[in-house]
Amino acid sequence: MPQTTSKSLVSLINTSLKPELSRRQFLRRLGVGASASLLASQSIAQSLAIDITDHESAQLTKDDLPAASIDANPSLVANTKATSAPSQCLNPSIETRLFASSNVGANEVRNQLALQRMACAGFKIQNPAITERQYLRFAGTDSQRASDLQNIASGAIAAPKLLLGVRGGYGAMRILPSIDWRTLGSIMAERATVLVGFSDVTAIQCALLAQGKMSSLAGPMLYSEFGKTNPDQVSCRQFAQALSNPKLTIEVNSAALTSEQLPVIFADNSSQMITGTIWGGNLSVVSALAGSPYLPRIDGGIVFLEDVGEQTYRIERMLYDLYLAGVFKGQQAIVFGALTGTGEDSYDPRYDVAVVIRQLHELTGLPIYNGMSFGHISQKSSFPLGATCQISANTAGGYQLSFADYPTIKAEAINVEGFWQQA
């Protein structure tokens, strides 16, 4: 482990953790549960892809914790290096509202930095004060958090062009019954509003699609990405691309983010082309919604799933939750993003994610596509959920996802370099 990383970790331990914490409590404070001990062979700075020296990192949640970095796309890295110099900020013109459905973002300096960057990138945030709310661990009371979206559904507040999640963690499920999703979806469709988030915000995105018939964007959030000391420039560029490109495509040529032991395409006919509505998100949240009216029921759909810090047996249990609830029936395919931080099974190291996904393929008979570059990782590729998705094999032995039928924002209104501007 690099010396600087070791010092950062020591600083985190000394300043943020009580000496009487048990090993399990220590790992939970780091944010990924007991399986975190199984990540020790990796560089912690690379594995978490966060600013570990920040004091608020002592209360990390899943949206803060990319458990792996992916190999950089050389062209993207080249572009990043070429544009490292400060850029001119745009006059913010994209009407934007924040919604804070989950954990509080407790570091005010980080909040302010994120807000400044969004403005520099061209986004005019109308309700920045919600970053100051807190009730227990949440970003406000249930009523306050629900009002971020319900006020739009009721007509009290006009729908913006962008609805950006503040952060994930936990809490979104608590507010689902308090929102008129059908009306909200209708208003958002008329305004062509883009709602963005992932992790715990999956609950919001699923409810919006299930009851409001409205798409959203799986992408980075205010506090957990744009408030970092050094936001991931590749993720920022991919976010801007997904926001502005009405014909987004994503190429996947490796299964490594899901499991190095799996093929990229796990199907009886790897050359088939599949077209359907892509939906899903964080596996923990999707499985928790099974049996509720907030889980989409889409005929001929394509299910996307990702997660972090969950041991292999827990991943399988959640997949069985969905299988036994009949969620995979009528679906055309399953796409896995990053399943990171699973570690090694304490009973038998041969029991891993690859075994679980092979079992899922046998159970469902569905083609499974692995390694999509989204989840709790750096260099993530944002993409629309609830949109039309076509999956086809590419010439490199992998696959391509092509998206259509989702709202976008004019590219010229976005200053992508503003997302990582330094204060």
Q: Annotated catalytic residue: which of 69, 147, 199, 216? A: 199
Cα separation values, 335 from 63, 179, 226, 278, Å: 20, 29, 27, 9
Longest Cα–Cα distance of the chain, Å, equals 57
Alpha helices by DSSP H, listed for 154-293, are 172-175, 181-191, 202-212, 233-244, 283-288
Place of tokens 């299930």: 210
Compute CA 214 distance to the chain's CA centroid, rounded to the nearest angstrom.
Answer: 18
Q: Annotated catalytic residue: which of 306, 310, 316, 417? A: 306
- Could you tell me which residues are beta bridge partners of residue 151? none
Place of tokens 């490796």: 254
Catalytic (active site) residue 306? yes
CA atoms of 213 and 195, how far apart (whole Å): 13
Catalytic (active site) residue 376? yes
Q: How far apart are the first and last CA of the chain?
A: 30
CA atoms of 220 and 40, how far apart (whole Å): 26
Among 366, 336, 186, 187, smallest CA distance to 264 is for 336
Q: Annotated catalytic residue: which of 373, 376, 378, 417? A: 376
Sheet (strand 388-393) strand order: 249-252, 399-404, 388-393, 274-282, 302-308, 333-340, 368-369, 265-266
Catalytic (active site) residue 344? no
Task: Say if residues 54 and 107 touch (Cβ distance below 8 Å).
Answer: yes
Sheet (strand 123-125) strand order: 123-125, 94-99, 162-165, 194-197, 216-218, 383-385
State the catalytic residues: 199, 306, 376
